[in-house]
Amino acid sequence: MFDHNHQVYMAREIVRHYSQLRQLQPAEQTILELLCNEWSNMKMLDIGVGGGRTTQHFSKVVKEYVGIDYAEEMIVACQKRFPSSSQSRGFEVGDARDMRQFQDNSFDFILFSFNGLDTLSHLDRLQALQEVSRVGKSGGYFFFSSHSLQGLEREFKWQNQISFNPLKTYVNMIMFALLRFFNRSISPQQIKHSEHEIIQDESHNFCLKQYYIRPQEQLNQLKTDFDHIRMYSWKSGLEITTQQELSDNSDMWLYYLCKIK
């Protein structure tokens, strides 16, 4: 899974795609505003920085900024997009599973956006979470997004693809057929009873294999090294504060803001 996804992110057209992205996701904008009084004192690590989509928003407000990505071509793209004109900003090749280039307790805020954590296998994911805890300062923040198996469960039912708009229904059914084709070994019943699954989803024309997890299971994964965990909707950027809101949520991914123990 690691090697497969790594090759996808090394492709020239994929690097070009990420280098052209500019906007923050709604939940990222929420956190940028929520911590507005703390940024100037923070040293930030941006994992899976890609083409620098988040760099332009966060690097100018934090005390020190470091962006890493396991795809060397992405780092080259960032260096071209943001010429090194300040000691407060830098980019380097790095693997979330092994960040030995950083000492313990190095960062106040760690970001892993665009579901970058989901490109890893289950064991690699747990290892990456441990590394984040190690390089992050106690009391510091970890903010990331992850695909929701709860949202995917809805997509695995053909009945949910029907719309009053015939064209939309047609497109939905085509995407549904492709989703089921690329995941032939996975049934709706399996999705319903799983805590997490590896899914070949529509990202980059069904090229990526991605980790989907139920929100409660994600909380369980985090509780060893993180606390004060808050969840945010991908679509609205609003915090999910009640169990009912979480149960009703159909977002394909969610954002999590945690404090490092």
Helix axes 72-81, 2-10, angle to 10 degrees: 30
Compute the average pLDDT of residues 108-120: 96
- With H, G, I as helix, E, B as strand and everything else as coil, classify residue 128: helix
Residue where the block lists tokens 């899976």? 48
Pairing relation of β-strands 253-260 and 226-233?
antiparallel
Q: Where in the chain is the domain with CATH 3.40.50.150?
A: 2-150+211-260
Compute the average pLDDT of residues 208-221: 96
For 36-45, the pLDDT digits (tens) are: 999 999 999 9
The pLDDT, as a whole number, for residue 240 is 97
Q: Could you count the other beta carbons within 10 Å of the beta carbon of residue 99?
A: 20
The rounded Cα 26 to chain-centroid distance in angstroms is 13
> pLDDT over 90 for what percent of the chain?
84
For 123-143, the pLDDT digits (tens) are: 999 999 999 999 999 999 999
Q: Could you give the CA distance from residue 193 to residue 190 in angstroms, rounded to a whole number?
A: 5
The pLDDT, as a whole number, for residue 157 is 84
The pLDDT, as a whole number, for residue 124 is 97
pTM here?
0.93
Helix axes 72-81, 12-19, angle to 10 degrees: 40
CATH superfamily, region 2-150+211-260? Vaccinia Virus protein VP39 (3.40.50.150)
The pLDDT, as a whole number, for residue 87 is 46
Gyration radius (Cα) of the chain, Å: 18
Q: Could you give the CA distance from residue 182 to residue 157 in angstroms, rounded to a whole number?
A: 15
Q: Quick one: tokens of 63? A: 């005390």
Sequence-separated (6 or more) residues with CB below 8 Å from residue 243: none
Q: Quick one: pLDDT band at residue 83, thresholds 50, 70, 90?
A: confident
Q: Could you give the CA distance from residue 208 to residue 211 in angstroms, rounded to a whole number?
A: 10
The pLDDT, as a whole number, for residue 160 is 79
> Which residues on neighbouring strands pair with residue 141, listed in sequence order?
109, 259
